[in-house]
Amino acid sequence: MFFSDIIAQEEVHEQLVHAVQNNRLSHAMIFLAPEGAGGLPMAFAFTQFLVCEDRQDNEPCGRCAACVKAAQFIHPDIHYSYPVIPRKSGDKPISTDYIAEWREFVSQQPYGNAYDWLQFIGAENKQGNITTHECRTSSEN
């Protein structure tokens, strides 16, 4: 995903590119945006920009192997955590259990919200969670 795909977030785009160009990135960042404002697409564009092997001035190149993988949500250095539901009683699901569904969902609906996601995986009225099991698993990697 490109920054130019995201509507009305030029200021955030400039700040993110500036941070990279000045080697002033935090070890962690949270993208918090009102629904529909493009927080998730901005995170996708930014991570692609970070891993791009031929960064242009203010956009990822979109052609290198890293960009191709990032655009398909398969880059090995980009990890995703999102709420999931147990497939059966007693399961302790983690995000990667739903990675195929996640890739399909974000490809189709990059502006989708948590509710859209949970409906996509058939949660109906179940509450999705990022579990402590996932936090422990992720911290071991």
Instruction: Catalog residues that contact Zn ion under the rule CB under 5 A.
Output: 52, 54, 60-61, 64, 67
Indicate the residue among 51 and 121 with the shorter CB distance to Zn ion.
Answer: 51
Measured distance between the N- and C-terminal CA atoms of the chain, rounded to whole angstroms = 26
- Only one residue has tokens 């949970």, namely 118
Residue with smaller CB distance to Zn ion, 76 or 90: 76
Shortest spacing between CB 60 and Zn ion, in angstroms:
5
CB of 29 to Zn ion, least distance (A): 20
Q: How far is the CB of 25 from Zn ion (least distance, A)?
A: 18
Residue with tokens 């999705």: 128
